[in-house]
Amino acid sequence: MTRKWLRWMPAAAVPAVIAAAALAGSLPASAGDPLPAKTPQEVLALMAQHAAPSLSGTLEQTSEIGLPEIPKAGPTSSSGAAAALELLSGPHTARVFVDGTSKMRVQVLDRLAERNAVRSGDQVWLYSSRDNTATHLTLPADAGRHEDVGQYKHPGAGMDGVMPTPEDLAGRFLAAADPATEISVLPEVNVAGRAAYNLVVTPRTEGTLIASVAIAVDGQSGLPLSVELKARGQSEPAFKLAFTSLSLEAPDASLFAFSPPPGATVKEVEVPAHGTGSRPGHSTEGGVVPDPAVPESVVPDAVAPESVAPDAVAPDAVAPDAVEVRPTVTGTGWESVVEFPASAASAEAGAMMSSDPLLQQAAVAVPGGRLFSTAVVNVLFTDDGRVFAGSVPAERLLTAAAAR
Partner 1 sequence: MPNRDMATQELAARASSGWPLLASELSVLFRRRRTWAMLLALAAVPVLMAIAVRVSSAVPPGRGPAFLDRITQNGLFVGVTASLVCVPLFLPLTVGVVAGDTIAGEAGLGTLRYLLVAPAGRVRLLLVKYAGAAAFCVVAPLVVALAGAGIGAALFPVGPVTLLSGDVITPGEAVVRLLLVAAYLTVSLLGLSAVGLFLSTLTDVPVGAMAATIVASVVSQVMGELPQLEWLHPWLFSHYWFGFADLLRQPIAWDSFGSNALLQAGYIAVFGALAYGRFVTKDVLS
What does the alpha-carbon distance between residue 47 and residue 166 come to, in Å, rounded to a whole number? 9
Closest to partner 1 by CB, 24 or 112: 112
In whole angstroms, give the CA distance from residue 199 to residue 187.
Answer: 9
Residue 283 engages partner 1 in binding (rule: CB under 8 A): no
Q: How far is CA 300 from the centre of its chain?
A: 15
Site string for partner 1, 131-170 (x = CB under 8 A): xx-x------------------------------------
By CB atoms closer than 10 A (0-12, 13-18, 19+), residue 18 is exposed
The C-alpha atoms of residue 316 and residue 60 are separated, in whole angstroms, by: 25
Helix 166-177 vs helix 40-49: crossing angle, to nearest 10: 130
Instruction: Pick between residue 110 and residue 228 the one whose CB is nearest to partner 1.
Output: 110
CB 140, min distance to partner 1, A:
24
**Least distance from partner 1 to the Cβ atom of residue 10, Å:** 4
Q: How far is CA 347 from CA 80, 320, 322, 330, in A?
A: 16, 13, 10, 22
CA 187, distance to chain mean position in Å, is 24
Q: Does 11 bind partner 1 (CB under 8 A)?
A: yes
C-alpha pair distances (Å), 143 with each of 123, 127, 160, 168, 270: 11, 21, 20, 27, 13
- Pick from 2, 8, 27, 33 the residue near partner 1 by CB under 8 A: 8
Question: How many CB atoms are located within 10 Å of the residue 109 CB?
Answer: 15
Q: How far apart are CA 345 and CA 275, in angstroms?
A: 17
Binding range to partner 1, per CB under 8 A, among 13-21, 162-170, 215-223, 336-344: 13-21
Q: Shortest Cβ distance from residue 155 to partner 1 (Å)?
A: 33
**Residue 13 binding partner 1, by CB under 8 A:** yes
**Can you say how many angstroms the Cα of residue 93 is from the centroid of all Cα atoms in its chain?**
13
Q: Which is nearer to partner 1, 11 or 403 (CB)?
A: 11
Q: Is 28 in the site for partner 1 (CB under 8 A)?
A: no
**Beta strand pairing status for 224-231 and 239-247?**
antiparallel
- In whole angstroms, how close is the CB of 253 to partner 1 at the nearest point? 12
Q: Strand (E) positions, 146-238?
A: 181-191, 194-203, 210-218, 224-231
Q: How far is the CB of 289 from partner 1 (least distance, A)?
A: 15
Q: Does residue 236 touch partner 1 according to CB under 8 A?
A: no
Q: How far is the CB of 251 from partner 1 (least distance, A)?
A: 9
Distances (CA, A) of 242 to 42, 295, 330, 387: 22, 12, 33, 32
Stretch 101-130 residues interacting with partner 1 (CB under 8 A): 107, 109, 111-114, 116, 125, 127, 129-130
Identity of the residue numbered 398: L
Number of residues that bind partner 1 (CB under 8 A): 37
Residues within window 297-316 making contact with partner 1, judged by CB under 8 A? none
x/- map, 54-93, partner 1, by CB under 8 A: ----x----------x-----x------------------
Nearer to partner 1, 205 or 234 (CB): 234
Does position 273 bind partner 1 by CB under 8 A? no
Among 10, 68, 158, 179, binds partner 1 (CB under 8 A): 10
List of residues contacting partner 1 (CB under 8 A)? 4, 7-11, 13-15, 18, 58, 69, 75, 95, 107, 109, 111-114, 116, 125, 127, 129-132, 134, 252, 255, 258-264
